[in-house]
Copies of this chain bind each other. A is one copy, B any other.
Amino acid sequence: MAKIQSPSGTRDMYPADLLKRRYIEKLWRDTSIRHGFEEIDGPTFETADLYAVKSGEGILSEVFQVYSGKDEAEVARIRGGANAPYALRPEFTPTLARMYAAKAGSLPKPTKWFWQQNCFRAEKQQRGRLREFGQWNCDILGGENDAESRARVDADVIACAIGAFVDAGLTATTLQVHVSDRSVVGEILRGIGVPDTRMGDAFSTLDRLPKLPPQAGEEACRAAGFDLQAFTAAAAFDGKAAMESASPLSMLRRDLASADLGGWVKIDLRIARGLAYYTGTVFEVLADGERAIAGGGRYDNLIELFGGPPTPAVGFGMGDVVLSLVLQDRGLLPEGDALMDALSRPSASYRPDVFVIPAGQSPEEQEAAAKAVRPLVAKLRRGVESEAYLSREGRKPWDADRYALASNGAPPLHARSSSKATKNIGKLLQDAAGQKAKLAVIVENADEVTIKDLRTNQQDATRTKIADLGRVVAERLGM
């Protein structure tokens, strides 16, 4: 008999292919856990309504529609011209919003969720795009909603995406996080004459620009009601202005710089993100010659749209197809022995390795300690690679000696800090114990910490230099 083919745009994964996918998944899961995210999942297919709520009825012609072959009434309705009752998920965000809205009252504030499974889209296959593909999402929902808090949470989410790139061996010379703000872009478009009624059109035109040749791009902008050159000039001017003021973008850049991530980030107001639901910060991770590797942003109205309370929210998504191409092209996807060994490396600990708490004796020390917490957490999560390692030819992220070559080298850790407002050290230690942390790191001033082992309740008699902390913790935990 004739051999039956797999559906076009889907993948048969034989053992060697599957190990590479597990490598990507391990990278994503370990990074998520170390950054304090908890994993969730939902159905592979949802009611078609769920997608229509977020994206309009038009979405149903972009997805795989699903119906039960057993339900005769359902089949009859479809033959009569109705859409199918279900759809294969084209993205996870509607499921996440539905799940958050259903339990908003009892969930932690903030809630940090990650997810990684397959998504589906009903389009033709092309480089970097399949009809079934793996996807990773990280989202932070709820909690404080002032501008400072939003910037901090935006920085947390972006730092997690960068954490995965660092752990995969990529650097800021290969790819950059282009950050924009939908409200700033909206102001610019309004300033050059785009009426509110055409704003959605203008955003999606900006989003398509990188895929168009220059002349076609200019024409598309004209058709959407604005002049591309005028936009570019205003974006450059406003981008500069936004950086000089106390704007959300400048706060975000400050927070990323304080976590040593400034080199990865580029303010770029040409980034618009096509999806209608973004409300503030938006970003895309770009590498030369490739589609966006990841993208995301703030969607502060979406949970309400799904019947939940008003909820600040920000997140990103990353696909396995483009990431695999980028890693493969740069020799960063291991094979054979190296791949098996990389997969056998210890996974991130579900329990926090460290929980960082601000302390300090004098008001000056207390202020310095409070300021040190978030950058320290971000650095511990990302790990510290030694200078000796970074300057070596042919280094690979799966080398066993990656963190062992210099005095301060350290593997990435699962690090957290409290989201509670209290400064009471006893209460913060309770929070650490409640979250099952192994070690509490009590920040004494800008340079020093005291370590308390929460498993034995023993506190060190001497302080540890912050610069050495990653290595000291890794040794103490036998990593």
A residues within 8 Å of B by Cβ?
1-7, 10-15, 18-19, 21-22, 38-47, 49-50, 53, 60-71, 78-81, 83-84, 86-88, 95, 98-99, 101-103, 113, 118, 120, 122-123, 132, 305-307, 337, 340-341, 343-344, 346-347, 349-351, 436
A7–B60 Cα distance when bound, in Å, is 17
- Are the CB atoms of A6 and B350 closer together than 8 Å? no
Once A65-B69, A66-B88, A68-B122 are accepted as A-B contacts, the answer to whether A13 and B1 lie under 8 Å apart by CB is no
* Nearest-Cβ distance from residue A221 to partner chain B, whole angstroms: 27
Contacts of A11 in B (CB 8 A): 41-43
- Are the CB atoms of A351 and B341 closer together than 8 Å? yes
- Are the CB atoms of B40 and A18 closer together than 8 Å? yes
The residue of chain B having its C-beta at the shortest distance from the C-beta of A341 within the complex is B351
Looking at the complex, which one of B40, B41, B53, B81 makes contact with A4 (CB distance below 8 Å)? B53
Closest 3 interchain pairs by CB? A10-B43, A15-B38, A340-B350
Looking at the complex, which one of B18, B88, B337 makes contact with A39 (CB distance below 8 Å)? B18
- Are the CB atoms of B40 and A122 closer together than 8 Å? no
A61–B45 Cα distance when bound, in Å, is 18
- Are the CB atoms of B18 and A41 closer together than 8 Å? yes
Contacts of A88 in B (CB 8 A): 44-45, 66
Looking at the complex, which one of B4, B67, B118, B337 makes contact with A64 (CB distance below 8 Å)? B67
Once A99-B12, A341-B351 are accepted as A-B contacts, the answer to whether A4 and B50 lie under 8 Å apart by CB is yes
Q: Can you list 23 pairs linking A and B with CB atoms under 8 Å apart?
A: A1-B306, A3-B307, A4-B306, A6-B42, A7-B43, A7-B45, A12-B40, A13-B42, A15-B38, A15-B39, A18-B40, A44-B118, A45-B64, A45-B88, A45-B132, A64-B86, A65-B69, A79-B81, A337-B351, A337-B436, A343-B350, A344-B351, A347-B347
Contacts of A42 in B (CB 8 A): 6, 10-13
Looking at the complex, which one of B46, B70, B132 makes contact with A62 (CB distance below 8 Å)? B70
A80–B4 Cα distance when bound, in Å, is 24
Contacts of A65 in B (CB 8 A): 66-69
A5–B50 Cα distance when bound, in Å, is 9
A64–B120 Cα distance when bound, in Å, is 15
- Are the CB atoms of B47 and A5 closer together than 8 Å? yes
- What is the count of identical protomers in the complex? 2
Q: What 14 new A-B contacts, CB under 8 Å, besides A6-B95, A68-B122?
A: A1-B53, A3-B98, A6-B42, A11-B43, A12-B43, A14-B99, A15-B38, A18-B38, A22-B39, A44-B132, A63-B69, A78-B78, A79-B81, A341-B350
A305–B42 Cα distance when bound, in Å, is 35
* Nearest-Cβ distance from residue A348 to partner chain B, whole angstroms: 8
Contacts of A351 in B (CB 8 A): 337, 340-341, 344
- Are the CB atoms of A69 and B79 closer together than 8 Å? no
- Are the CB atoms of A15 and B40 closer together than 8 Å? yes
Looking at the complex, which one of B19, B41, B70, B350 makes contact with A61 (CB distance below 8 Å)? B70
Contacts of A62 in B (CB 8 A): 69-70
- Are the CB atoms of B307 and A19 closer together than 8 Å? no
* Nearest-Cβ distance from residue A289 to partner chain B, whole angstroms: 27
A171–B47 Cα distance when bound, in Å, is 41
- Are the CB atoms of A1 and B307 closer together than 8 Å? yes
Looking at the complex, which one of B19, B38, B346 makes contact with A346 (CB distance below 8 Å)? B346
Contacts of A45 in B (CB 8 A): 7, 10, 64, 88, 120, 132
- Are the CB atoms of A436 and B340 closer together than 8 Å? yes
Contacts of A69 in B (CB 8 A): 60-65, 83-84, 87, 122
* Nearest-Cβ distance from residue A133 to partner chain B, whole angstroms: 11
- Are the CB atoms of A40 and B64 closer together than 8 Å? no
The residue of chain B having its C-beta at the shortest distance from the C-beta of A305 within the complex is B1
- Are the CB atoms of A19 and B350 closer together than 8 Å? yes
A84–B87 Cα distance when bound, in Å, is 13
* Nearest-Cβ distance from residue A268 to partner chain B, whole angstroms: 31
